[in-house]
Chains A and B, each alone.
Chain A
Amino acid sequence: MNHPAATAATLPSYLDQSDAVRARFDRMKSRETILEVEHLGKTFKSASGTTVALDDINFSTQRREFLCVVGPSGCGKSTLIRILAGLEEKTSGQVLLQDKPVSGPGRDRGMVFQGYTLFPWLTVKKNVMFGLEVNGTGASTAEREALQWLQLVGLEKFAEAYPHQLSGGMKQRAAIVRALANQPRILLMDEPFGALDAQTRARMQAYLLEIWKKIDITIIFITHDLDEAIFLGDRILVLSPHPGRVQELIEVPVPRPRALMQCITPEFLATKGRLEELIHQSTGDDELESYPAVARLTDVADNVE
């Protein structure tokens, strides 16, 4: 962990951008706006009173942007993405997809969940065909397209397998193409790699960038892993908890194409320092200090450190 104060002297500011990075951002911003969130609010009513989960959230994403959303637990990032997906009702404000307000779920917003949510009774191929079929595509066309999508992520050999026969990484690849097969304007991902082991997760991150580069898709990616957010995102939306508010929208100065090696570059560390600062600020004191001290139960001379 880099303490922001200790490294501030040696690191550039996270706001400094190289010319190439600035040019990329200019190009990105010149593209049309896909999604616009205006004064979005969400209040939960329960027996113990009302809880404000989201308060006046404003942001927008451009076409083919990769936007990450981070924040401590309780900041409402999952609520936010569920509202965008139409799985939850907003209390106030509006969500515009290509200037049209959205309500309820729809095929124009694909979603990938942490728990894979592949349909266990369908083969991998049928899973990918599902979205096409419920939207009225004929079985033979749907099958052809599904096979093409599976080929894209190297799962064509597993077309006839059932989800339980796949590894976690394969399941999540299948879930991603299931969402993409519908050709949504935007792909919402709610901590999709949270259940994967460290190696698989790293490979999936790189793979997701490959997919994103090759097709016309805008991604909103929720995570609590700051490295993941910096590695993947063009911009990072930082939310603060209780109530969930936008704290800052950070433009990631790390140049593309991204590689795992970049996690020790000054831009990367500066961005991470800033994110940690923001998240510590919003959660108050370092959480570790609130744990009680542990009494020694061993011989004083028998030290392990």
Chain B
Amino acid sequence: MKLFQLHRALSQRARLSIGVMSFVLPIALWSIVSYVPAVWHPQVLITDPGSADYLQVEMRMDRAAFDAEVADAKAEDRAPPQGIASNPIYLPSPDEVATAFYRSFTTPPPTQDGVWLHQSLWHSIKIIFWGFVISSIIGVPLGVLCGTYAAIARLFEPFTEFFRYLPAPAFGALAVAILGIYDGPKITIIVIGTLFQQILIIANTTRKLDIALVEAALTLGTKNSQLLRRVVLPAILPDLYRDQRILLGWAWTYLIVAELIGTTSGITWFITQQARYQHFPNVYAAIIMIGILGLGTDMILAQLSRRLFPWDRSLAKTG
């Protein structure tokens, strides 16, 4: 089939439709599991308890127990309980999640001190932003220097390699002891989770610089002190930008752990609260919201890179 030729570029239409499929397929799978009673549905949602006094409407029970109850009732000539096949409470259907998603923006929080979903999100975004900015302020220059000068790489990289294996959340208690229980330790966890990978990744990107460009610049009379700004930085900038996009994604994955440290806050607080009251549609809505935010940010950044680096040929390939 033409579609499966190695390295074959897709037409604009094929790109779009296959890209849409990438989301349609998992949603379709979710819908089948949710709406086709023959698929899974291991529980029964009681609609009428019948003669079984320990059952209540809206209660869920395992199908085997329900069937046994119905058989018992029939044998004893009592009114059998009635119910519909259902999934466990932790797997709500797409429409429930969609409704919850919509409602989370339109209905005020149930408790007085409660926060809206978007307020939680905004708090999380601020944590990510500062974590990533602080990490980048240190990590990007250091990475570029490590990639450029072997001596600096030798000085920083062994320790960085060591440190990047340490799980960032392990520093949670320490961060709380030093920085208190509010945003400080959370930002610290994001920084620890991002920075050490960032140094190594950016150092590697810098090392991939085509040395012929440096030699060309030297033969044009460029002094060593000018090379970094005139050649190294502009040459690696598109790749560095791509690295930053990937690293920003990693920073997001540290968010939930970071927000559990000290006082739980942000989207994590929202999720844990909702899960505690078994409002699982809300939990899914919040998780999906994180995904949409992450993907949205990345798409905007990708679009921006076309403007910033019109000369970058690798953009034409990756789209």
A interface vs B, CB < 8 Å? 85-87, 105-107, 109-111, 113, 115, 117-122, 130-131, 134-135, 162-164, 178-179, 182, 188
Contact = CB atoms under 8 A, between A and B. Distances in A.
A201 B268 CA distance: 65
B237 A131 contact: no
Contacts of A122: 234, 311
B221 interface: yes
Nearest to A104: B218
Contacts of A85: 215, 219
B216 A113 contact: yes
A109 B215 CA distance: 12
Interface in B217-238: 217-223, 226, 230-231, 234-235, 237
B286 to A, nearest CB: 41
Given A121-B311, A134-B226, A113 B221 contact: no
8 contacts: A85-B215, A105-B218, A105-B219, A120-B313, A130-B230, A131-B220, A135-B221, A162-B310
Contacts, number: 71
Interface in B192-243: 210, 212-213, 215-223, 226, 230-231, 234-235, 237
A110 B237 CA distance: 27
Contacts of A115: 212
Contacts of A86: 218-219
Nearest to A130: B220
A117 B213 contact: yes
A134 B223 contact: yes
B309 interface: yes
A115 B119 CA distance: 54
Contact of A162 (B215, B216, B226, B311): B311
Interface residues of A, dominant DSSP: loop
A163 B213 CA distance: 13
6 tightest A-B CB contacts, nearest first = A107-B221, A131-B220, A117-B216, A111-B219, A105-B218, A162-B311
A236 B96 CA distance: 83
Contact of B220 (A162, A163, A178): A178
B237 A121 contact: yes
A240 B217 CA distance: 31
Given A110-B219, A117-B215, 5 more contacts: A105-B215, A117-B210, A130-B230, A134-B223, A188-B219
Contacts of B235: 119-121
B220 A87 contact: no
Contacts of A130: 217, 220, 230
B220 A134 contact: yes
A133 to B, nearest CB: 8
A235 to B, nearest CB: 23
Contacts of B310: 162
A179 B311 contact: no
Given A113-B212, A121-B237, A87 B313 contact: no
Interface string B279-319: 00000000000000000000000000000011111000000
A113 B219 CA distance: 11
B221 A131 contact: yes
Contacts of A120: 235, 311-313
A260 B259 CA distance: 75
A117 B235 CA distance: 12
B182 to A, nearest CB: 43
A164 B210 CA distance: 15
Nearest to B216: A117
A184 to B, nearest CB: 9
Nearest to A87: B215
Interface in B113-146: none
Residue among B210, B222, B231, B235 with the highest chain A CB neighbour number at 10 A: B222
A106 B221 contact: yes
A162 B312 CA distance: 10
A107 B217 CA distance: 10
Contacts of B218: 86-87, 105
B213 A119 contact: yes
Nearest to B230: A134
Contacts of B213: 117, 119
Contacts of A113: 212, 215-216
A16 to B, nearest CB: 38
B219 A87 contact: yes
Contacts of A106: 221
A106 B230 CA distance: 16
Contacts of A111: 215-216, 219
Contacts of A118: 216
A179 B223 CA distance: 16
Contact of A109 (B219, B231, B234, B312): B219
A106 B223 CA distance: 9
B234 A164 contact: no
Contacts of B309: 121
Contacts of A164: 311, 313
A85 B214 CA distance: 13
Contacts of A182: 220-221
B220 A117 contact: no
Given A113-B215, A162-B311, A121 B222 contact: no
